[in-house]
Amino acid sequence: MKRMRVSSWTRLTVAIGRRKTRRFHSAQRAAWLRSAQVCGGVLHALAGFASIRALAVGLSLTRIMVLAHWVT
């Protein structure tokens, strides 16, 4: 069976969750870990989107600077 790739965001939320869920029952802990995986996935997607946007902004700024250099 192929092991699912876990993002660092998921690992972070799971680590926080493990601390919080020590006094919970196993069913509650499993539910928390599932929600932590979902939260981690969302955070990972948002971080990816933010870096893509930052990259796009950086590229457009570079393009503007190159155009300004050509014009002047």
Question: Does the pLDDT of residue 2 top 60, yes or no?
Answer: no
* pLDDT computed for residue 12 by the predictor: 65
- At 41-58, the pLDDT tens digits run 777 777 777 777 777 777
In a domain, 16, yes or no: yes
Residues 6+ apart with CB under 8 A from 28: 21
The pair of structure tokens assigned to 39 is: 């939260």
Taking only the tens place, the pLDDT of each residue in 18-27 is 665 556 567 7
Residue 2 domain-assigned?
Answer: no
Instruction: Print the domain residue range for 35.
Output: 8-71
Residue 25 lies in a domain: yes
3 lies in some domain: no
What average pLDDT does this structure show over 63-69?
Answer: 73
Mean pLDDT of the chain: 69
Q: How many domains does the chain have?
A: 1
Distances (CA, A) of 19 to 14, 16, 33, 44: 9, 5, 11, 21
